[in-house]
Amino acid sequence: MVGLLEQYEDLVYSVILRAVRNPATAEDLKEETFFGIWRRIHTFDVERGHLDKWVAAIARNIAIDYLRSLRSEPHVHAQPWDEAANPARTTLRNAEADRLIKSALC
């Protein structure tokens, strides 16, 4: 697994960073990606494709799941003057999340 980490670390990070556009979040999701790879490595079929594409797909899916989770997070303790409680701000944030998800899929 260490060899896999070293070989694909940059690929995974760049795929995730392109989607989430936040280096700290990309680092966290990179770790989650490798944990997911470790759990699912037995499902990889060399006859169906290359390992790098499989790894990139897992990274992309984890980034997309993260972006989707941002859209569904409830705003706890939002005050009327809080930007999070502003419907226009929420609409803009949802539109930005949609844009990021679409760019991650491309």
The token pair at 77 is 């303790």
Q: Which residues contact 66 (CB under 8 A, 6 or more apart)?
A: 19, 20, 25, 29
Q: How far is CA 85 from CA 90, 91, 93, 99, in A?
A: 7, 11, 12, 21
Region 88-103: mean pLDDT is 64
User: Average per-residue pLDDT in the chain?
Assistant: 80
d(CA 30, CA 43): 20
30-64 pLDDT per residue, tens: 999 999 998 998 899 888 889 999 999 999 999 99
Complete domains list, the chain, with CATH: 2-105 (1.10.1740.10)
Q: Global pTM? A: 0.66
Contact 64, 97 (CB under 8 A): no
8-21 pLDDT per residue, tens: 999 999 999 999 99
